[in-house]
Structure 1
Amino acid sequence: MEGTLPETPLTGLARHGQSIWLDFIRRDFVEDGRLAAMVKEDALKGVTSNPAIFEQAIGHGAEYEEAVQALLETGSLTAGELYEALAVEDIRQACQVLRPVFDETGGRDGYVSLEVSPYLAHDAKRSLEEARRLWQQVDHPNVMIKIPATEEAIPAIEQAIAEGINVNVTLLFAIGMYEKVLEAYLKGLETRVKAGLPVGHIGSVASFFVSRIDGRIDARIDRRIAAEDPESEALQALRGKVAIANARMAYQHYLSVIASPRWQALAAKGAQTQRLLWASTSTKDKAYRDVLYVEELIGADTVNTLPPRTLEAFRDHGVPEGRLAQNVEAARKILLEAERLGLDLDGVATTLLEEGVAAFEVAFDGLLGAVAARREAVLGERLMRVSLALSGELENAVVAAGKSWSQDGKVRRIWERDASVWTNGPESKWLGWLDVVKNGRAALETYEALGREVKERGYSDVLLLAMGGSSLGPEVLEETFGRVAGGPKLHVLDSTDPQQVASFRKAIDPAKTLFIVSSKSGSTLEPNILFAYFWDQAEKALGRSPSEHFVAVTDPGSSLETLAKERGFAHIFHGNPEIGGRYSVLSAFGLAPAAAAGYDVRSLLDSTQLMIEACDASVPPVTNPGVNLGLALGVAATSFRRDKVTFVASQKIASLGAWLEQLLAESTGKNGTGLIPIDGEPLGTPEVYGDDRVFVELRLGHEPVNPGLKALREAGHPVVTLHLDDVSQIVQAFFVFEFATAVAGSVLGIDPFDQPDVEFSKVETRKLTKAYAETGHLPEETPFAKDGDLAFYADERNREALGNGSAETILKAHFDRVGKNDYIGLLAYIERNKAHIAWEQTVRTELRDQLHVATAAQFGPRFLHSTGQAYKGGPNSGVFLQVTADDAADLPIPGHAYSFGVVKAAQARGDFDVLAARGRRALRVHIAGPLHAGLDRLAQLVTDILKGA
């Protein structure tokens, strides 16, 4: 073959025993025949690739657009999977072009290199696993798997050789490390020989980097000469010589090893030598000849991998003479002189290795980011979009945080369940939500069977009895999707208010209703007493046991599961114990009610998967929507005191705000820090806001940008937009915010998966209900002031701050305590209906507009399992007005000594006690008599106080 080649400097290298490989790959370069032409005309004998090369090829090559589209049409893929599919195909095609070279040289040449992920450079186990996987995927005998020459990777290199995998060991700078690499190669071969396995087919090269060494050493020399170092002349004499001397001495080690009896024994078995491959051979200093590192390193049994420009330069004017084995003594003296002058070649080599790995990681980030962007473009309206409009300073801080996350590999560490991303506590036990689609698909038949059963049995209604994480997600689904034609109506009851319970009882026919009792622990008070009530109602309506009308959703082994088995429930759906309640909407706690309501669970899971892949470990922070969103929220709160996350939603998806409130508040509001979510607050003009807000727009379809949000952006407020093209993407919003919340928790330095202060409220409530069961009444309490139908309660510290005057003076003193960057919480333990929601909206808007602070409007006890955590455990910036009232009517709870009204009262008092214990500015006002009149009076008092302020 070589005899037919044209005589050029490139083809002349073969006479000196050196093979030329090309350090470049790209699909069109292979497909249009240019690679084959170089094999034919330039004696090209191999191809190498690395993340930087693929980043240029795939990230910027237009020819990959159609390939990405075709791959996504065949199935859902992450950015990492897309990259790998593209890269493997490129490598396969190049292997086919070079296969004749491989065959003609007996497996000595004709190789194409593919690198394991640079993220694994310091992980021998996973490097080996990836080397095996890539070896099998490419499935060509002339592929070489590149593994970087880190200390940790040496065992992986040895084992890969022992398994018969061709290995290109890359990023070699130091002779000492090269010696370890060659030793690993020998040991790998010897392991095979000992096992009676063949070794003749195994190819390997050790990629020794050259010009980068001179670049670093020369810079040191130049600095010392500029500083008039007394050794300037000796230093000048070493410029441009250390890297070549280092390579020559590495080659001498190679020659000594292949002359040894140890190698001869392996050679007798047919083993090939592990050739030195010279990499980084383009000159960085224009003062040097552009083919310096090619000409000086020509020698037998070596390879030089050249980037296209250097290859063209050598073809044009290179001189193919064998110089590598010459001037050995001079090379040794150069290295000794470099040591004498303190140029620290070993330190330089170590630094270059670290920088090389880091540079490949950056290139890999860029590559995967480009692939992720291509993926997003191809998916188009199938994928919800997240965009950030931040002020310059905040934007810079978020970008810097993203770079830090890239360097620390935190996105990958989240997917690896690494608790050190947070507090290094129990966090790894609460990351089951990362696998919700996989688990949901595994149980898909059971969900679909439930949906068919509900329809076949003719249920008119499905009533979900739940609290917090078990109720808010299904509530969003119901309010977003509504009632499916021909299917039942889904109701979500998450209150102990007797009027609320009675309203739901009136809305259904128990004889035609499927009841879903949902509780992770199975011991949550509210679902248990709601179950007791509606079991009794259903039993009366049916005149028999209503067991077939009941379904349980709970974690395995819970008391609810035991109850469900004892009562003969129709179904028991198990949750994942590694998913906390507020992260459970895409697990059985959301999917079982969705299926019962007739929603397409399969479609919901498929849509979720698209967002899971967008937030995948392979997607770097810069293009990862979950990470970007989480960093924006976390950095805004920690560095800019913008901790009031305010949701502004399209009407059709407005219910998402309440779910987001729970997710953010319960996850981040602890240890005196956190994000305070603000949902449902009407949008105002820029002047009514302080500088403590981040606005999150939840926009649906092709709705225009909200003019109010545009004004806020122009006024410098950060605005984050989640753009859903269709309501079905609500599940993507669930996941992206779950991921973002976990990221924000890391920025805040907290465990985002516990909720300590929710538990304290439960404890206080249990004390009070126990006392009622034992005595027949709740412990006595005395208001510190009364004014007509309003009675005021507070702990001693708050009483001292509020005085003992009229309702107006007490309320004014309370609101006078509101300061800059505070927020006001209206906590109303009354029925959540349209009239009462409107009342809260009126009052909160007055407070917001006059005091210029954020307002939270909540209904108890619902919020106790939601924002209550942040109110008690988050920053002490809340000023709370709790509203309680006499119940117009109460409802008994079958099998219990107390009623719903008693439970609600105990919950309100327990809530207030914990607020007080946490040093919160809190006031409780109790309305006696007609509730409507009392609320009207309270609203008028607030208006009068604010107008007179």
Structure 2
Amino acid sequence: MDITIGFSDDYTQLLSPELEKRLETIYNDMKSKTAFGSDYLGWLNWPSSISQELLEEIKTTANHIRSTSDVLIVIGIGGSYLGSKAVIEALSIPFEKNDSLEVIFAGHSVNGSYLKKLLKYIDGKEVTVNVISKSGTTTEPAIAFRFLRQYMENRYGSSAASRIIVTTDQEKGALRSLAIEQGYKRFVVPNDIGGRYSVFTAVGLLPIAAAGFNIIELIAGAKKAEEQFGHFDMHNNPAIQYAVLRKRLHDNGYIIEIMASFEERLKYLQEWWKQLFGESEGKNKKGIFPSSVQYSTDLHSLGQYIQDGQRNLFETFLMVKNIDEDLTILESNNNGDELNYLSGLSLHAFNKVCHEATANAHLDGGVPHITITIDQIDEMHIGHLLYFYMMACAYSAYLLEINPFDQPGVEAYKTNIFKMLKKPVY
């Protein structure tokens, strides 16, 4: 299992003794947990330190949900849902219905039509709810939970409590207090792991396990990444290499990064990546704006801008070496579509050619590119990839002298909402 990095220039030309010293300081500060935001560095060794007891408890709970429910509704926003959504979508087979359990997400927006249709959809189905919030007062999930809690109590009466699971703070918060009062099953959001780094905690693992995927393999992949990327080597550590490339491009005016994928299943992994880097780096008027495209679809839309628009962006391709299912283009007798020259070519092979052709065309148009390649899409490799991005994001933010783990700007819009809606105290 490996992650490889390709770059449109000579990586070694970016290195210097000063950069090596800076990176080694970042490494030592993270290792000793004296870096900016060190209170939230618990994710660093979480894959290797997560207890077998917790994993077994999550698996047992997930199996119970699968045996008693048709639907699991996961209520959360940001890191409280994007990690599990990314993994579930990546591992799910398109058009293949999971007869055991359907995982549905709520609380990630305030949309009355969505929530009303959701409540109608689950009528006649057996339902479990997993509400995820460290405080229990985050507006969007709290609104959704108010409706869904009422629904569960109206439908299931006194047994509703056995169908509501809470993932929240260990020591404080409105949701923790409610869970104790009502007797809900509880899992903990670790105090030293922030939301966008929480996919390997119960926040992500319970929905992923309930969806039927192997969380032991997912953690094993993350643990392998912890071992691989947890050492200091700016020449051979892909997490450090990716951070160095981003910093060099940032300093040269490339302030937009576009993650491009040819795999539809990785769409929500791209969404998770956007939150991870956007919320971690976008501070103090610094940072690279993360965006994403699906190819070859977006080559017929945003591809025009990428090729010929402003030269303030670079492209990062996320490629998969091997896929589990594919098709080969057949030869046609009349060749009316003029595709016989592709006969015998697999669609995955076509996308590999499309990647190379696109990268070269965009480079000719003035767009630098990075290529990140993983072997395949499964629990082990996805766990490995997610941890890689976490580590790279920390290095990348620290190179910009930014705390990767706070999000002060997120509060600005909330304050305005609370003032406009006349929330007490505001």
User: One fold, TM greater than 0.5?
Assistant: yes
Partner residue of 1:444? 55
Partner residue of 1:435? 45
Matched-pair contact (CA < 8 Å) for 1:474–1:492: no
Runs of 4+ in 1 over 6 A off after TM superposition: none
How many angstroms apart in 2 are the aligned matches of 1:510 and 1:433?
40
Residue 720 of structure 1 aligns to which amino acid in structure 2? I
How many angstroms apart in 2 are the aligned matches of 1:669 and 1:398?
25
Q: 1:453 to 1:478 in 2, by over 3 A?
A: same
Q: 1:511 to 1:539 in 2, by over 3 A?
A: farther
Partner residue of 2:241? 628
Residue 66 of structure 2 aligns to which amino acid in structure 1? K
Q: Deviations over 1:843-875 (max 9, x none)?
A: xxxxxxxxxxxxxxxxxxxxxxxxxxxxxxxxx
Q: 1:399 to 1:448 in 2, by over 3 A?
A: farther
The yes-or-no answer on 1:752 pairing with 2:407 is no
Q: 1:510 to 1:594 in 2, by over 3 A?
A: farther
CA shift for structure 1 position 465: 0.5
Partner residue of 1:403? 20
CA shift for structure 1 position 722: 2.2
Q: 1:568 to 1:506 in 2, by over 3 A?
A: same
1:559 corresponds to which of 150, 160, 174? 174
Matched-pair contact (CA < 8 Å) for 1:514–1:550: yes
Partner residue of 1:417? 33
Q: Deviations over 1:178-217 (max 9, x none)?
A: xxxxxxxxxxxxxxxxxxxxxxxxxxxxxxxxxxxxxxxx
TM score, norm. by length of structure 2: 0.83
CA shift for structure 1 position 715: 4.2
CA shift for structure 1 position 542: 2.6
Q: Deviations over 1:401-460 (max 9, x none)?
A: 653346x443243222131xxxxx4x1111011122134344111111112211332x11
SS of alignment partner, residue 104 of structure 2? strand
- The structure number with the bigger radius of gyration is 1
How many angstroms apart in 2 are the aligned matches of 1:551 and 1:401?
50
The yes-or-no answer on 1:595 pairing with 2:217 is no
Partner residue of 2:187? 573
Partner residue of 2:67? 456
Partner residue of 1:519? 133
Q: 1:398 to 1:588 in 2, by over 3 A?
A: farther
Partner residue of 1:387? 5
What are the within-5 Å matches in structure 2 for residues 210-359 of structure 1? none
How many angstroms apart in 2 are the aligned matches of 1:395 and 1:448?
45
Give ranges in structure 1 of 5+ residues lacking alignment: 1-381, 420-424, 775-909, 911-949
Q: 1:692 to 1:432 in 2, by over 3 A?
A: same
CA shift for structure 1 position 620: 1.0
CA shift for structure 1 position 677: 0.6
Matched-pair contact (CA < 8 Å) for 1:390–1:717: no
Q: Deviations over 1:290-311 (max 9, x none)?
A: xxxxxxxxxxxxxxxxxxxxxx
Residue 614 of structure 1 aligns to which amino acid in structure 2? Q
What are the within-5 Å matches in structure 2 for residues 94-109 of structure 1? none
SS of alignment partner, residue 548 of structure 1? helix
What are the within-5 Å matches in structure 2 for residues 73-84 of structure 1? none
TM score, norm. by length of structure 1: 0.38
What are the within-5 Å matches in structure 2 for residues 121-132 of structure 1? none
Partner residue of 1:642? 254
Q: 1:472 to 1:588 in 2, by over 3 A?
A: same
Partner residue of 1:741? 393
Partner residue of 2:371? 721
Give ranges in structure 2 of 5+ residues lacking alignment: 323-347
How many angstroms apart in 2 are the aligned matches of 1:599 and 1:555?
25
What are the within-5 Å matches in structure 2 for residues 834-845 of structure 1? none
How many residues align structurally?
Answer: 380
CA shift for structure 1 position 584: 1.0
Partner residue of 1:807? none
CA shift for structure 1 position 641: 1.2
Whose relative contact order is higher, 1 or 2, with alpha carbons under 8 Å and at least 6 apart?
2
Q: 1:484 to 1:398 in 2, by over 3 A?
A: farther
Residue 64 of structure 2 aligns to which amino acid in structure 1? E
CA shift for structure 1 position 543: 4.5
CA shift for structure 1 position 486: 4.5
CA shift for structure 1 position 395: 5.8
Q: Cα RMSD (Å) of the superposition?
A: 2.4
SS of alignment partner, residue 666 of structure 1? helix
Q: 1:693 to 1:502 in 2, by over 3 A?
A: same
The yes-or-no answer on 1:660 pairing with 2:273 is yes
Q: 1:514 to 1:530 in 2, by over 3 A?
A: same
Partner residue of 2:163? 549
CA shift for structure 1 position 655: 1.6
Q: Deviations over 1:54-106 (max 9, x none)?
A: xxxxxxxxxxxxxxxxxxxxxxxxxxxxxxxxxxxxxxxxxxxxxxxxxxxxx
How many angstroms apart in 2 are the aligned matches of 1:484 and 1:630?
39
How many angstroms apart in 1 are the aligned matches of 2:16 and 2:375?
27
What are the within-5 Å matches in structure 2 for residues 785-800 of structure 1? none
Residue 640 of structure 1 aligns to which amino acid in structure 2? N
Partner residue of 1:673? 286
SS of alignment partner, residue 599 of structure 1? coil
What are the within-5 Å matches in structure 2 for residues 58-73 of structure 1? none
What are the within-5 Å matches in structure 2 for residues 188-199 of structure 1? none
Percent identity of equivalent pairs: 24
Q: 1:726 to 1:711 in 2, by over 3 A?
A: same
Residue 746 of structure 1 aligns to which amino acid in structure 2? Y
